[in-house]
Structure formats: structure tokens, C-alpha cells
Amino acid sequence: MKTRKNILIVDNKCELEHQLREPLFKQLENSAVSPILVRAKDGAEAAIKSENQKFDMVIIDTEVPRLMDGGFVYGIHTYKNTQDADIIVISQREETDLPESLQNSKFFKKPVSPGELIDAMISILNIQHHGAPKEAAPAVAAAKYAVDVRVINAVIKATTSVLGQFGVTSVNMGKAGPKSPHEPMMGEVSSVIDIKSQSFQGYLTISFDKGSYLEVVSTMLMEEQTELTQDNQDAVGEINNIIFGNAKAEISNYGVQMTVPRVILGAGQTVHSAPGAAGMMIPFSTGKGQFYLTVVASPIAKVA
């Protein structure tokens, strides 16, 4: 019986899929591996497809639209359905210019022949099926965790919705990227909530700098706030209670439990993270400042 291997090809012109499909299937015809090719035309479609299907390999052309400026590339090792996938990158850039999340991938500088790609794919698929050779030196595994991308999207949606209700309408999301869980939070007024599922545990933070926080609190209290005070700092708990409360119903549907938010005041604050944890941060800008949504998590060890 053949082992099915799902391969996501992120390519907006169909060329890669057309070049690879027939020769790949032919070379694997008598093997124990059955490849299933799925194409995404851009980074947004790749993110959607990875929400609904687990992939064993992802082939990325870095020149496709909505890829390098979106969350899919930067969170590819954190999403549940791509966290264990082998990544092949094809690019006009130098390997050192790629985001950190792609720098340990199998890299090909354009132009690359279909034959080279197919050889690399077959080599990876054979290792996935049979395991690495016993004589091979053990590789240092990159930290991986399994936070469903839908959890992050639910919090993003709730954050922008709630701030919009408060009258903060000029909220723009920046480029998502990796963040060390041991680095301090970038804002001055933060709220932290612990999250846990069957596969991961960790926390989410929303951290406001002074400008963005005073903007939010001013609209919330309907009175101009010009300095951080004990009175208006307490409002962060209420703001984030509303945000996380809006996200909770959706997140609970994905098997994720959430605690009550706790407030952390002051710049340069850190949150204890479990060994092996990894993080991703999404910056946002408002009319008067910035705030940051961070997710930090580590996999829960499976009991044999």
C-alpha cells in the first residue's frame, strides 16, 4: 500500500506544477510513495489551504504575490499543518536575504531545472518514508510549535474589531515575523493570556506603546489622555478582556483553552517561556503609535 504525501506548490503561473507533475509521478510510479500536488497562486491562498490540509512538503517561489509581506512564510514552521513539512525555496534572491523562517530550507537560486527540483523532492520523500540513514549525523532541529493559524487569525480579527468599536479605525497590520520568547515585550502596557490545547501550550500577549495606548484609552474613556497614570493603565485589562472575550468562542471551537488575562505594566517586561518555545510577533500601527500581538508556544510532549 502506498504512502500518500501531500505537496503544496506556491506558484502563481502554474509553471512549476506543470513541469514537475508528470516526471515526478513517473519516477515514483513503482515506489511506495504516492504524491498529491496542491497549488496555491499566492501567499494568502497558501495560508488558507494550509488551514484545511496537512502538507509533508511545501515548494515556494518567493516571487509570487502576497507571500513575502504576509504571515504564511513567517509562520510556516508554527502552523499545525506545515510545522513538520520539508521546505524547498526557489528564489531570485540570495539565500542570506531570505527570512529566518526559510533559511534552513532546501534552496535553489533561479534559474533551476525541473530535473534538479525533482531529484531533491524524491530524496526528501524517500527520507520521509524510510527515515534518515543510520550513519547520518543527527541534525539540530529548529524549534517548532503547533499553534493553529486560525487561533492567531481569531485574535487579529477580534483586536481590530474591538478597537474599531472604540473608534480607533486607523489600525494597520504589519509584517509578521519570528520573535524570541526570551526577548522583552516591546510595549509599555501589556496583557498576557495563557493558552493550551492537546498539542501546545503557551501564551498570547497584546502590548501597547504609549502613543497607541493613550489613543485607545482616550476613545474608550471619551476623554483625552496625555500621560500614563495608574487610573488609565488599569483600562488595559478591560480592553483585552473584551478582545480575548470576542475571540474565545471561536478559539474554543479549535480545542484551545484560555485563561483570564493578566496585566503587565512597564517597558522591557518579559514572560517566562518553557524550554524549546518559539514565538511569532505581528506589529500593528495606529494613528498615534504601535502595538504588538505575540504568540509564544511549545509542543506538549506526547506520553508513550
Q: How far is it, in rounded angstroms, from Cα 80 to Cα 51?
A: 8
Give the pLDDT score at 7.
94
For position 39, what pLDDT does the model report?
Answer: 92
Domain assignment present for residue 43? The answer is: yes
pTM of the model: 0.53
> What's residue 139's pLDDT?
33
Q: Which residues of the chain have pLDDT under 70?
A: 69-71, 127-149, 275-276, 299-304
Q: Which CATH number covers residue 235? A: 3.40.1550.10
In sequence order, what are the residues at sequence separation of 6 or more whose Cβ sits closer than 8 angstroms to the Cβ of residue 290? 186, 187, 209, 211, 212, 283, 284
Any idea which residue has 526577548 for its cell?
183
pLDDT digits (tens, 9 = 90+) for 81-131: 888 889 999 999 888 888 878 877 899 998 888 888 888 888 888 766 555
21, 296, 20: which is closest to 179 by C-alpha?
296
Question: What is the 3-state secondary structure of 178-189?
Answer: ECCCCCCCCCCE
Classify residue 293: in a domain, yes or no.
yes
Q: Name the domain boundary from 96, 130, 164.
A: 130
Tell me what pLDDT residue 135 has.
40
Same domain assignment for residues 124 and 166: no
Are residues 123 and 162 located together in one domain of the fold?
Answer: no
Output the pLDDT for position 134. 39
Return the pLDDT at 87: 92
Domain extent for 66? 3-130
Give the N- to C-terminal CA distance of the chain in Å, as an integer.
26
Same domain, 154 and 199: yes
Question: Are both 108 and 153 inside the same structural domain?
Answer: no
Domain-embedded: residue 273: yes
217, 123: one domain? no
Residue 39 maps to a domain = yes
Whole-number pLDDT of residue 70: 61
How many distinct structural domains can be found in the chain?
2
Cis, bond preceding 178 (omega within 30 deg of 0): no
Would residue 48 count as lying in a domain? yes
What's the grid cell of residue 134?
Answer: 543510520
In the block, cell 489613543 appears at 215
- Burial grade of 184 (CB within 10 A; 0-12, 13-18, 19 or more): middle
Q: Is 245 domain-assigned?
A: yes
